[in-house]
Amino acid sequence: MSELVKRNASELVELLQSGEVTSVELTQAFLDRIEKLNPLLNSFLHVNTKEALATAAEVDRKRAAGEKLPKLAGLPIAVKDNLTTTDAPTTAGSKILEGWIPQYDATVVKLLREEMMPILGKTNLDEFAMGSSTEFSAYGPSRNPWDTDRIPGGSGGGSSSAVAGFLAPLAIGSDTGGSIRFPAAVTGTVGVKPTYGAVSRYGLIALASSLDQIGPVARNVLDAALLSDVITGYDKHDSTSLPESLGSMVEAAKSGSLKGVRVGVIKELSGEGFQPGVKALFNESLELMVKAGAEIVEVSCPSFEYAIAAYYLILPAEASSNLAKFDSVRFGMRVTPEGNPTIERVMAATREAGFGPEVKRRIILGTYALSSGYYDAYYGSAQKVRTLIQRDFAAAFEKADVLVSPTAPTTAFKFGEKLEDPLAMYLNDIATIPANLAGTPGISIPNGLASEDGLPSGIQLLAPAREDKRLYAIGAALEALQEGVWGKRMIDFAPEVKAGA
Min dist CB 6 to ligand GLN, Å, is 28
Catalytic residue among 80, 122, 193, 469: 80
**What residues have CB less than 8 Å from 56, skipping those under 6 apart?**
22, 23, 24, 26, 27, 28, 74, 76, 118
Among 138, 168, 207, 217, binds ligand GLN (CB under 6 A): 207
Q: Does 155 bind ligand GLN (CB under 6 A)?
A: yes
80 annotated active-site: yes
Min dist CB 185 to ligand GLN, Å, is 12
| 3-state SS, one letter per residue, for 111-139 | HHHHCCCCEEEEECCCHHHCCCCCCCCCC
Q: Does 214 bind ligand GLN (CB under 6 A)?
A: no
DSSP element (H, E) containing 449: strand 442-449
Min dist CB 178 to ligand GLN, Å, is 5
How far apart CA 4 and CA 402 sit, in angstroms, is 35
Cβ atoms of residues 231 and 248 within 8 Å = no
Task: Give the residue with the Cβ less far from ligand GLN, 180 or 261.
Answer: 180
Q: Does 78 bind ligand GLN (CB under 6 A)?
A: no
Min dist CB 483 to ligand GLN, Å, is 28
Q: Does 178 bind ligand GLN (CB under 6 A)?
A: yes
Task: Give the residue with the Cβ less far from ligand GLN, 29 or 369.
Answer: 369
Q: Does 176 bind ligand GLN (CB under 6 A)?
A: yes
How far apart CA 333 and CA 330 sit, in angstroms, is 9
Q: With contacts defined by CB under 6 A, name the span among 93-101, 116-124, 174-182, 388-396 that binds ligand GLN.
A: 174-182
**Of 172, 243, 142, which is closest to residue 9 (Cα–Cα)?**
172
Cis peptide leading into residue 371 (ω within 30°): no
For ligand GLN, the binding residues in 125-154 under the rule CB under 6 A are 129-132
Angle formed by the axes of helices 221-231 and 107-114, nearest 10°? 100
Catalytic residue among 142, 179, 405, 457: 179
Angle formed by the axes of helices 276-291 and 468-486, nearest 10°? 100
Task: Give the residue with the Cβ less far from ligand GLN, 115 or 468.
Answer: 468
Q: Does 431 bind ligand GLN (CB under 6 A)?
A: no
Q: Does 315 bind ligand GLN (CB under 6 A)?
A: yes
Phi–psi pair at 267, nearest 5 degrees: -55, -45
Task: Give the residue with the Cβ less far from ligand GLN, 107 or 179.
Answer: 179
Helix (H, G, I), strand (E, B) or coil at 343: helix
* End-to-end CA gap in the chain: 16
The single-letter DSSP state of residue 292 is T
Q: Does 177 bind ligand GLN (CB under 6 A)?
A: yes
**Of 375, 383, 277, 370, which is closest to residue 324 (Cα–Cα)?**
370
How far apart CA 208 and CA 317 sit, in angstroms, is 8
Q: Does 171 bind ligand GLN (CB under 6 A)?
A: no
Give the chain's radius of gyration (CA, Å).
Answer: 21
Q: Does 76 bind ligand GLN (CB under 6 A)?
A: no
Residue 227 pairs in a beta bridge with none
Q: With contacts defined by CB under 6 A, name the span among 67-75, 170-178, 440-448, 487-495 that binds ligand GLN.
A: 170-178
Q: Does 175 bind ligand GLN (CB under 6 A)?
A: yes
Sign of CA dihedral 96, 99, 104, 109: positive
Cβ atoms of residues 210 and 318 within 8 Å = yes
155 annotated active-site: yes
Min dist CB 56 to ligand GLN, Å, is 31
Task: Give the residue with the Cβ less far from ligand GLN, 10 or 134.
Answer: 134
Task: Give the residue with the Cβ less far from ligand GLN, 175 or 318.
Answer: 175
Q: Measure Cα distances from 242 to 190, 214, 231, 443 in Å.
A: 24, 14, 13, 19
Min dist CB 421 to ligand GLN, Å, is 13
Task: Give the residue with the Cβ less far from ligand GLN, 328 or 432.
Answer: 432
Task: Give the residue with the Cβ less far from ligand GLN, 248 or 383.
Answer: 383
The site for ligand GLN, by CB under 6 A, has a size of: 13
The binding site for ligand GLN (CB under 6 A) comprises: 129-132, 155, 175-179, 207, 315, 429
Task: Just list the catalytic residues.
Answer: 80, 155, 179
